[in-house]
Structure 1
């Protein structure tokens, strides 16, 4: 399988040691070489196909340079990179003529001229640098949105270390971004057919590899075998790791595997009927024909699922 998965690419130095430096945010905002990626409702600002819309701080009129909204993404030879998550209520308050209220007007007018896109849709088209920046920005933005309070005492937390730590204002405990490991697997049988399933909440004809979260106390190999048994009633033997990529929707790390049906195990599929409503084995020819006919819709190109399928297929499948 390809070593550089769509959302597993980056060329920027995280520069983690600089995050706790006093006055670091102010210095970044004052530096004209700093580039800012705007995030709004989980979407990233884009300038066109495969290009992020990165702006100098001075270009962003009325920006809230508050640590609560910022995350340091790292630096390269061209300068430093910041992510600015726009307030969720931005532009909602307007006067009777529909004009943004005074404190938001400049920023609203600036933002309304931008284009925002979902990382799922543009991630595979981004260059290595931009893929890494966008994935990190979306992951951190999602974490902050879901963790405003201390999990120990329930009090408000404040953002420190330029977006990488939240500190409780009451007990001063420190809290760090969470990543949830999930396994995703291309299951093949003795005839080298691939097992694909249809999730209950997906559009009609959408099929993909099986996947699920790693549970407490499990190894990833155990999680692969459990998920396949639960969702499709298939016993898995050998499990081989193929690659991984972040999937920040909101906080997953997808661990990709090739798994083989256990020797002498049945290939009769029994779906759970809850998460998976249909699953079947495909030969390469059967899958290519079904995809061409539109009776099977494959995952988006930014996903590790499609990479696993095409790794088994031996080439690119027309979609």
Structure 2
């Protein structure tokens, strides 16, 4: 797979030793420290084309003090520490607090940003969403103490002390083909009408990835899988998944949609899929492919190219 996959390939030094041993309050005050911001699910970018809107140390420290927001060390470059700060405590209107940029949903601009900026914002979002949703110990309900420069927490109760780490839920996604060279695409009823994509699902406990591929295809479409081939993976912090992409060869047969999850599933030829459009300009019979920031789109386009 030579196609670059959005949100992956981050080249930043994550500064493991510094993260493990460092004090986040001290790291925030280091010369060259810069902050990327998160506000109620959105992140701050600026410019045309857009890029991360970085705030300097002084500005970031003022915001951290004003909001008492979650902060974490992302890593460091030659200039100093790079940090992500949750400023969701700031009150603002629909467009967010004025910070010299635009508050955007990552999926709306991910493909427009420099690749490293997209990957870094996905990384920051993944950890901050976990911090936002993990406020109490899952073992005893006690308070949590933040450690590892924002990357883990520990229960404050001496009788518990449980450690908690950011969640990453493995999910498989597969481009299934049959001996005739057709691709199996389907749609869920909650999707925008007309969108068709690869089948996908979460890996269950005690299940190998290849087993998950075969199970999901059988459950959702009633199709048996003959073989699977790993293609690539994609961080997917919406909110906390890792998409693991496969090509899979089916034994054949006609698909039958699982009525609980799938609205429609069918075999398509390359000629048919080549007529699909985009969400804003659907193609034949109103059909369109998933967004270009998804590994599903990468799998389909690789198949279209043969």
Provide TM-score, normalisation by structure 1.
Answer: 0.86
Q: Give the C-alpha shift of residue 9 in structure 1.
A: 2.1
Q: Give the C-alpha shift of residue 237 in structure 1.
A: 1.0
The range that moved more, 113-122 or 237-246, is: 113-122
Deviations 1:51-102 (A, max 9, x none): 1111112234741258861011111223321000113x4216xxxxx9xxxx
Separation in structure 1 between the aligned mates of residue 153 and residue 183 of structure 2, nearest angstrom: 43
Question: How do 1:63-142 and structure 2 match up within 5 A?
Answer: 63-65=63-65, 69-87=70-88, 89-91=89-91, 110-111=98-99, 113-142=100-129
Separation in structure 2 between the aligned mates of residue 56 and residue 39 of structure 1, nearest angstrom: 15
Q: Give the C-alpha shift of residue 50 in structure 1.
A: 4.0
1:169 aligns with 2:156: yes
1:39 aligns with 2:30: no
Separation in structure 2 between the aligned mates of residue 299 and residue 50 of structure 1, nearest angstrom: 22
Deviations 1:6-63 (A, max 9, x none): 11121101111111335x3234322342221101122211113341111112234741
Q: Give the C-alpha shift of residue 223 in structure 1.
A: 0.3
1:5 aligns with 2:5: yes
Question: How do 1:100-249 and structure 2 match up within 5 A?
Answer: 110-111=98-99, 113-170=100-157, 171-249=160-238
1:300 aligns with 2:286: no
Q: Give the count of matched residue pairs.
A: 295
Partner of 1:25: 24
Partner of 2:261: 275
Q: Contact conserved, 1:190 with 1:261, CA < 8 A, in 2?
A: yes
Deviations 1:201-255 (A, max 9, x none): 1011011100000001110000001001111111111100000011011110000
After superposition, the Cα gap between the structure-2 partners of 1:11 and 1:114, relative to the gap in structure 1 and judged at 3 Å, is same
Partner of 2:280: none
Q: Contact conserved, 1:67 with 1:160, CA < 8 A, in 2?
A: no
Q: Contact conserved, 1:233 with 1:269, CA < 8 A, in 2?
A: yes
Separation in structure 2 between the aligned mates of residue 3 and residue 109 of structure 1, nearest angstrom: 37
Separation in structure 2 between the aligned mates of residue 32 and residue 131 of structure 1, nearest angstrom: 25
Higher RCO by CA contacts (8 Å cutoff, separation 6 or greater): 1
Separation in structure 1 between the aligned mates of residue 86 and residue 97 of structure 2, nearest angstrom: 16
Uncovered stretches (5+) of structure 2, i.e. residues with no partner = 278-282
Separation in structure 2 between the aligned mates of residue 20 and residue 275 of structure 1, nearest angstrom: 42
The range that moved more, 188-197 or 78-87, is: 78-87
Separation in structure 2 between the aligned mates of residue 259 and residue 281 of structure 1, nearest angstrom: 14
Q: Contact conserved, 2:173 with 2:213, CA < 8 A, in 1?
A: yes
Identify which of 308, 311, 314 aligns with 2:305.
314
Separation in structure 2 between the aligned mates of residue 178 and residue 302 of structure 1, nearest angstrom: 22
Separation in structure 1 between the aligned mates of residue 82 and residue 275 of structure 2, nearest angstrom: 45
Partner of 1:105: none
Provide TM-score, normalisation by structure 2.
Answer: 0.90
Q: Give the C-alpha shift of residue 156 in structure 1.
A: 1.6
Q: Contact conserved, 2:24 with 2:72, CA < 8 A, in 1?
A: no
Q: Give the C-alpha shift of residue 175 in structure 1.
A: 1.1
Uncovered stretches (5+) of structure 1, i.e. residues with no partner = 93-97, 99-107
Separation in structure 2 between the aligned mates of residue 74 and residue 165 of structure 1, nearest angstrom: 15
Q: What is the aligned-residue RMSD (CA, Å)?
A: 2.1
